[in-house]
Amino acid sequence: VKGRERRLRKALRKYLKNHDVDYVILDCPPSLGLLTLNALVAADEVLLPIQCEYYALEGVTQLMRTIEAVRHAMNKELRLG
């Protein structure tokens, strides 16, 4: 489906035009599926709450690569907070 990774971004932009909102928090699963990709494309900033254990830190490395790829290809304004 063409443009499926931008659906959430379009819906949020439309919603925010008509509502006075300071923040929107998108809580995503730790897996890097379509939902997480949509959230990264829609977001201005990413917060990474993690558990302090080895496997969680390994996952952060993969997520950082994904964030960089999204930043490069679909959301140049995406930043880490």
Confidence at 22, pLDDT banded by 50, 70, 90: very high
CA distances from 47 to 4, 9, 25, 26, 33 (A): 23, 17, 10, 10, 17
Structure tokens at 70: 């999204």
The pLDDT of residue 4? 92
pLDDT number for residue 46: 96
> According to the model, what pLDDT value does residue 12 have?
96
Please choose, from the candidates 76, 77, 44, 50, the residue with its C-alpha nearest in 3D space to the C-alpha of residue 63.
Answer: 50
Please check the confidence at residue 29 and state whether its pLDDT lies above 90: no
- Residue 3's region, left for phi above 0, alpha for psi from -120 to 50, else beta, is left
Percent of the chain with pLDDT over 90: 67
pLDDT at 47 over 80: yes
Span 14-19, average pLDDT: 96
